[in-house]
């Protein structure tokens, strides 16, 4: 697949991991996906690094800020105007957590929470446009919101990003949502089920493509991770929900081949 050089507004463009132990996290994802990593030597970068697959950017990694903050994967959505998105978030009932703030000459970021507590980030690009590889083994292939209130989320994200919605039938007949940009699915949403603790807020989940979902799940366990949801079929492909050794949740998926 050609290298990605840009994203339309509202489309997932980047993911990064905030980790409580960078050494452990790097070793795990190198073993699981074959990623390489390089950290920024500038002290002002705060220990931020970038994972690559075959020389192309696929994800970021950095330390958590605060001793009580858990390891977590963060989802970024592209925008041409982070300030405008911040205004829309507040008007739609969400909350601004960070920014907007310019990150050197890379771009401008802002971190928000939707009304049900799901954290997400927007990225207004300058030099850095986002992931350079998608939908191939070891690269981001899908983003999905597990929501406490799907109807409220439909309204909120439509107001913030202008997304369209389409109802789809998910695993075990659960009614799910596809988020649409220009009529094309760019992310999904499913209601939070019993596998989530009652106190857990809504949350975005990142999916990385793998050649074989079962093999990837077993390898994750051998490398110190856990399987939260064993491999199963969904409309987008066969997937499993995992944690890394520092308890950051993510998913792996073997996407279904496109219809002829």
pLDDT value of residue 260: 40
* 140-255 and 12-125 share a CATH fold: yes
pLDDT-derived band of residue 1, with 50, 70 and 90 as boundaries? low
CA distances from 123 to 8, 61, 112, 147, 256 (A): 11, 16, 12, 22, 29
The CA distance from 10 to 227, in Å, is 30
Q: Would you kindly state where each structural domain of the chain is located, as residue ranges? A: 12-125, 140-255
The CATH class for the domain spanning 12-125 reads alpha beta
Q: What are phi and psi of 81, to 5 degrees?
A: -160, 95
Q: Which two tokens stand for residue 220?
A: 């994750």
* Strands 164-169 and 237-243, sheet pairing: unpaired
Residue 110 pLDDT > 60:
yes
pLDDT value of residue 2: 60
Q: What are phi and psi of 98, to 5 degrees?
A: -140, 135
Residue 226 pLDDT > 90:
yes
Higher pLDDT, 18 or 45: 18
Once rounded to an integer, what is the mean pLDDT over residues 93-110? Answer: 95
The CA distance from 212 to 231, in Å, is 10
pLDDT value of residue 115: 96
pLDDT value of residue 41: 77
Q: Which two tokens stand for residue 75?
A: 């989802």
For domain 140-255, give the fold.
2,3-Dihydroxybiphenyl 1,2-Dioxygenase; domain 1 (3.10.180)
pLDDT digits 0-9 by tens, 231-245: 999 888 999 999 999
Residue 66 pLDDT > 90:
no
Once rounded to an integer, what is the mean pLDDT over residues 70-80? Answer: 97
pLDDT value of residue 202: 92
pLDDT-derived band of residue 257, with 50, 70 and 90 as boundaries? confident
pTM of the model: 0.94
């Amino acid at each position: 697949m050609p290298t990605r050089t840009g994203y339309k507004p509202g489309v997932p463009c980047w993911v990064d991991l905030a980790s409580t132990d960078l050494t452990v996290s790097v070793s795990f994802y190198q073993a699981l996906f074959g990623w390489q990593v390089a950290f920024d030597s500038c002290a002002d970068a705060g220990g931020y690094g970038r994972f690559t697959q075959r020389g192309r950017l696929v994800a970021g990694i950095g330390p958590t800020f605060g001793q009580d903050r858990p390891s977590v994967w963060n989802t970024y959505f592209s925008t041409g105007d982070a300030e405008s998105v911040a205004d829309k978030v507040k008007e739609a009932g969400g909350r601004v957590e960070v920014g907007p703030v310019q990150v050197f000459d890379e771009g401008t970021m802002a971190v928000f929470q939707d009304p049900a507590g799901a954290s997400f980030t927007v990225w207004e690009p300058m030099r850095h446009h986002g992931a350079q590889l998608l939908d191939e083994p070891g690269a981001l292939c899908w983003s999905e919101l597990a929501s406490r209130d799907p109807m409220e989320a439909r309204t909120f994200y439509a107001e913030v990003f202008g997304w369209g919605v389409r109802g789809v039938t998910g695993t075990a007949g659960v009614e799910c949502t596809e988020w649409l940009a220009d009529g094309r699915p760019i992310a999904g949403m499913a209601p939070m089920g019993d596998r989530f603790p009652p106190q857990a807020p809504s949350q975005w989940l990142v999916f990385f493509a793998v050649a074989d979902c079962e093999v990837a799940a077993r390898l994750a366990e051998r490398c110190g991770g856990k399987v939260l949801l064993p491999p199963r079929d969904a409309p987008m492909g066969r997937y499993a929900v995992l944690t890394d050794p520092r308890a950051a949740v993510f998913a792996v998926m073997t996407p279904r081949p496109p219809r002829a």
